[in-house]
């Protein structure tokens, strides 16, 4: 039964990834229909991000009260409703409205499910489970690109994804008895020994500020690349909107392939080594996009950035219980997710202003600056937590 629950968690991670790249892959055709500036994609992503921040900060309290299974099922149901709402929207205002349940549904499930996996499974399982997220994030823009290329509009693409999400919701609700019977000793220890920590106390834990900045930078980089890649190739490289929507999936394909490989490599390397390896590969990918060479090299650079992103997020999460303790891990992961979505909220819209008022050509430079800040904060985190654990 425990292995069957693992399959359910795999499906839940696919459902988490499905909506994440849709907006970026469809925006080239959406903003012209609504007659709004291209930078308005930042408004939608900001609303979603604010919702996820709010729900992430409540994840410790909600998970202790309702359990991971119920939180997962209800949250995925909320995103399914929001996606269907997107599919029937014909105004920018309605998109903003449906972005609210979209964001609220994403935050709690992300924090709760990640903590559950960090407590119960090894690093390789964390990588492979996040690979499932990559599969979902790859399927989303691929289905949107396929829909656009075959003469249908973006509304149909959102509708197809919402139906698929609803199927996942049904499976998750039927799986609820499995979650009740599978509370391992690590989770029991975390629930019984720990307590719900207020935000002020969580932030005062040594290393928390540094890890929050790491997640801020990582998700800022990932979301900016995923959100703006399609527009970058359309407006700067001269690709068609339909072709660019398909190429945007290259980034998420890189993440997906990278997480399969990360699960294998993590059997030999530690979480710390995997994170540093990922940062190096991202740097190579960004440099490939910066070089004034053939289009294929830029596309390969986007794939490399995805490959580099692959181990960073799951390995940082998996290291949380060992760095901060199982009794504090849910609270720490909650603020990590909140910080991640603040990065999602602020940094892609900021680049939208750069693209609008300066030039979209600066996308690789923007990504490089975020990467350097992330590497600095991760180094500071390692030094501080090692000193604290040694004491």
Other CB atoms within a 10 A radius of the CB of residue 193 amount to 11
Looking at residue 182, its pLDDT comes to 56
State the pLDDT at residue 338: 85
Residue carrying the six token digits 């407006």:
235
d(CA 139, CA 251) in angstroms, rounded, equals 12
pLDDT at 189: 47
Distance from the Cα of residue 325 to its chain's centroid = 24
- Helix H or strand E segment including 137: helix 123-149
Tokens read off for 116: 């559950």
How many Å apart are CA 133 and CA 49, to the nearest integer? 18
pLDDT score recorded for residue 331: 84
**Among residues 166, 221, 224, which one has the least CA distance to residue 42?**
224
pLDDT at 373: 96
What is the CB neighbour count within 10 angstroms for residue 202? 18
CA gap 205, 114 in Å, rounded: 20
Domains of the chain, residue spans? 2-175+193-390
- CA-wise closest residue to 374 among 256, 202, 224: 224
Q: Return the half-sphere exposure (C-beta side, CA atoms, 13 A cut-off) of residue 313.
A: 31
Rounded CA-CA distance 320/207 in Å is: 10
pTM higher than 0.85: no
Whole-number pLDDT of residue 69: 86
CATH topology of domain 2-175+193-390: Growth Hormone; Chain: A; (1.20.1250)
> Would you call 35 helix, strand, or coil by DSSP?
coil
Question: If you search the block for the tokens 């849910």, which residue do you land on?
Answer: 330
**Residue 298 CA: distances (Å) to CA of 91, 213, 243, 258:** 34, 28, 15, 18
Closest CA to 305 of 348, 368, 216, 211: 368
Q: What is the mean pLDDT of each run of 10 residues along the chain (391 residues)?
A: 77 84 80 83 83 82 81 89 91 92 81 81 82 80 85 88 92 85 50 65 88 94 85 72 67 84 89 94 91 76 91 90 81 87 83 87 92 95 79 61
Structure tokens at 31: 């903003």
């Amino acid at each position: 039964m425990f292995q069957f629950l693992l399959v359910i968690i795999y499906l839940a991670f696919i459902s988490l990834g499905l909506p994440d790249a849709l907006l970026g892959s469809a925006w080239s055709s959406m903003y012209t229909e609504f007659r709004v500036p291209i930078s308005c994609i930042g408004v939608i992503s900001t609303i979603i991000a604010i919702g996820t921040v709010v729900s992430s900060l409540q994840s410790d309290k909600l998970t202790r009260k309702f359990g991971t299974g119920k939180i997962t099922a209800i949250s995925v149901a909320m995103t399914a409703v929001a996606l269907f709402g997107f599919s029937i929207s014909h105004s920018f205002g309605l998109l903003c409205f449906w972005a609210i349940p979209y964001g609220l549904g994403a935050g709690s499930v992300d924090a709760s499910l990640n903590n559950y996996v960090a407590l119960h499974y090894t690093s390789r399982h964390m990588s492979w489970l996040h690979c499932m997220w990559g599969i979902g994030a790859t399927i989303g823009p691929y289905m949107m690109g396929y829909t656009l290329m075959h003469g249908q509009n973006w509304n149909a693409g959102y509708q197809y994804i919402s139906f698929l999400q609803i199927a996942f919701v049904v499976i998750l609700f039927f799986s609820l008895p499995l979650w009740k019977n599978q509370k391992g000793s690590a989770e029991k220890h975390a629930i019984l020994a720990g307590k719900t920590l207020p935000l002020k106390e969580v932030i005062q834990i040594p290393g928390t500020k540094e890890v929050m900045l790491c997640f801020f930078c990582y998700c800022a980089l990932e979301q900016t690349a995923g959100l703006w890649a399609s527009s970058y190739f359309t407006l700067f490289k001269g690709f068609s909107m339909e072709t660019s929507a398909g190429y945007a999936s290259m980034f998420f394909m890189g993440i997906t392939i990278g997480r399969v490989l990360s699960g294998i490599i993590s059997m030999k390397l530690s979480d710390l080594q995997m994170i540093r390896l990922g940062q190096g590969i991202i740097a190579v990918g960004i440099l490939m996009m910066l070089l004034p060479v053939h289009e294929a090299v830029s596309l390969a650079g986007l794939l490399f950035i995805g490959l580099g992103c692959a181990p960073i997020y799951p390995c940082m999460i998996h290291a949380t219980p060992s760095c901060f303790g199982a009794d504090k891990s849910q609270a720490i992961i909650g603020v990590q997710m909140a910080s991640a979505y603040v990065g999602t909220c602020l940094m892609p819209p900021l680049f939208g202003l750069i693209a609008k008022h300066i030039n979209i050509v600066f996308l690789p430079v923007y990504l490089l600056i975020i990467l350097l800040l992330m590497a600095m904060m991760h180094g500071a985190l390692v030094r501080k937590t090692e000193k604290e654990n040694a004491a």
